[in-house]
Amino acid sequence: MEHLLALLPALVCPIAMGLMMWMMMRGNTSQAKNTQGMPEQAMGVDRLADTPDRKRRLELLRAHVDELKAQEALLAAQIKEGLVAHVAEEQPRPVETTQPEHGALSPARTA
């Protein structure tokens, strides 16, 4: 009996999974049957319509994309200028070296 109780969770999982799959398939087929004979306009879907509102929205979206591209180009130029200026600031400056006078010790040797 204890052996059967140990197998129960292992058996319940695939059975429950199969039941859920069957229920979902059953739901999908009933939805497909309901909409099969109806035209798209009757369902309120008109995907390919070229209405003035749709054209206007498309124009606005294209204008917005163009505006974003211009902003991107401006930011890229500013970043490039900033990086060039930053690199120019970080370049090492030449170190001024002076020759020690004849007979004087150099600073490295005094220590």
Question: For 33-73, how does the pLDDT look when each residue is reduced to its tens digit (9 = 90+)?
Answer: 655 555 555 555 555 566 888 889 999 999 999 999 999 99
Give the mean pLDDT of 20-41: 70
* CA distance linking residue 42 with residue 39, whole number of Å: 5
The separation between the first and the last C-alpha atoms of the chain, rounded to the nearest angstrom, is: 91
The answer to whether 71 and 65 have CB atoms below 8 angstroms apart is no
Phi, psi of 7 (to 5 degrees): -80, -15
* CA distance linking residue 3 with residue 108, whole number of Å: 86
